A and B are shown apart, each in its own frame.
Chain A
């Protein structure tokens, strides 16, 4: 009994310590972000620059104020070929931007000194978090899979019992009803997509972490994968629905003139679906970050203790909402993708 009490107290202490730590770090990084912005403006706080800095990609990982991890730069240009070096080379000991090896970096944008374009394959903050996200996914689900391989008939335990309902939810409530009998082919992709987006969203909510799933390049690649799968598995019914939606209800003489209008619409429709996927995830996650950062910025705009408390409360509530949005957007992306796959493989309906 006593031990139990102690344990709960200890847990409460741990949680409050963690919360305090998180708060200190986030305010620290806020100030850190505020500093370069305020330099030019002589002390005035610029929330726009702060938010921009937070949601955009960067060549270094600023964990909190003064703690910046340099990341490797990988650039390719026709003139100089492939070059790999650390991003810290772009700063001298006074933290002033300097050119390095004929490259210059201006606001995280790297060019040759003459201004010529380079291809930038650097391990940026987002790429680093992409790696972290992927390693977490692989390690976690390898651990989960182990217990399935050991004894498939055993009741789930531990990690497995947490993820099994989610896996079954994705299978039975997202993939199966939307794709139909051929769902099994798509299941691995859908599960990977769901957990990748969910974990990426949650990772982005951590203080100091990168806004991975709120980056348009990331959501674009995911949307393109869904689009490629849709188009490449599309059957006869799918294509005839696009190019001959009227079917045998009208002769070709009449249909042709209608199709002059319909075809462009249908062809644009093929591309609007992945485009909406890309924008939806990007906008939702980025907007969540912008809202939280805006609320926290209120403290520094008002420079008031009371506002600080209030905005901390609001930001906490928003963070909780964002935790929900994290799984909701993963659900939406997966659900819409499976609906598109379902359209691509559905059998001909006989009217």
Chain B
């Protein structure tokens, strides 16, 4: 058993045992460990990538939201403005229409009043006429109750005709 001379026995055992250890460890340890490490590394890398993506997406969504909000605000302002102007328009229109109707109603009322007035005057006129006729008749009857007065009247008429 010299220091620098390899012994055949130890060479034999070292070869056999090392090969066994290598085979056992390679199959039962290094293979599953290497694949597990790889799985974990890819999982971590994927997760990090996914997180990065999610962050980016989040920022994008936030930006989109901001934009949408801005747009919504503008839309709202626009709608409010429009509504206001529409309301004003309606008010204006209503006012105009009302005045037209009122005018027409006034005019109609005036016409009706005028008609009524005319009719009333007509009635008054005819009433006055019939009243005057009645009065005249009564007066005539009073005056012409004797012959002399009748003759006087006829003469008077005649005179008048002659003049004509």
Contacts and interface: CB of A to CB of B under 8 A. Distances in A.
Interface of A: 52, 55-58, 74, 107-109, 119-124, 126-127, 130-131, 134, 137-138, 141-142, 144-145, 148-149, 152-153, 164, 167-168, 171, 184, 187-189, 191-192, 196, 215-218, 220-222, 225, 286
Given A153-B43, A220-B6, A167 B25 contact: no
A80 to B, nearest CB: 17
Nearest to B7: A217
A192 B40 contact: no
A301 to B, nearest CB: 22
Nearest to B10: A217
Interface stretch (B27-35, B135-143, B155-163): B27-35
Contact of B33 (A148, A153, A196): A148
A221 B40 contact: no
B10 A218 contact: yes
A189 B31 CA distance: 11
B7 A192 contact: no
A122 B9 contact: yes
Given A121-B9, A217-B14, A192 B25 contact: yes
Q: Say what secondary structure dominates the interface of chain A.
A: helix
B17 A131 contact: yes
Interface residues of B, number: 36
A192 B22 CA distance: 6
Contacts, number: 120
B149 interface: no
Contacts of B126: none
Contact of B1 (A57, A131, A152, A188): A57
A91 to B, nearest CB: 17
B24 to A, nearest CB: 5
B81 to A, nearest CB: 58
Contacts of A192: 18, 21-22, 25-26, 30
A310 to B, nearest CB: 28
A55 B31 CA distance: 36
Given A126-B10, A149-B36, A188 B25 contact: yes
Contacts of A123: 13
Given A145-B33, A153-B40, A216-B4, A134 B21 contact: yes
B101 interface: no
Given A153-B39, A188-B22, A134 B33 contact: no
Interface of B: 1-15, 17-18, 20-22, 24-26, 28-37, 39-40, 43
The 9 A-B residue pairs with the shortest CB-CB distance in the complex, in nearest-first order = A152-B36, A217-B6, A188-B26, A217-B10, A148-B36, A188-B30, A221-B14, A145-B29, A141-B29
B25 to A, nearest CB: 5
11 contacts: A108-B1, A119-B9, A130-B10, A148-B37, A164-B37, A171-B37, A188-B25, A192-B18, A192-B30, A217-B11, A218-B10
Given A55-B3, A57-B7, A134 B39 contact: no
A141 B34 CA distance: 13
Q: Which of B12, B21, B35, B39 has the most CB of A within 10 A?
A: B21
A80 B81 CA distance: 118
A189 B22 CA distance: 7
Contacts of B9: 74, 119-122, 124, 127
A149 B34 CA distance: 11
Contacts of A134: 17-18, 20-21
A338 B25 CA distance: 19
Given A127-B13, A130-B13, A134-B21, A216 B3 contact: yes
Given A134-B21, A286-B3, 9 more contacts: A56-B2, A109-B1, A131-B17, A134-B20, A148-B37, A171-B34, A189-B26, A215-B6, A217-B6
Contacts of B35: 152
A149 B29 CA distance: 9
B5 to A, nearest CB: 7
B114 to A, nearest CB: 103
Nearest to A120: B9
A168 B29 CA distance: 14
Given A148-B33, A216-B5, A138 B21 contact: yes
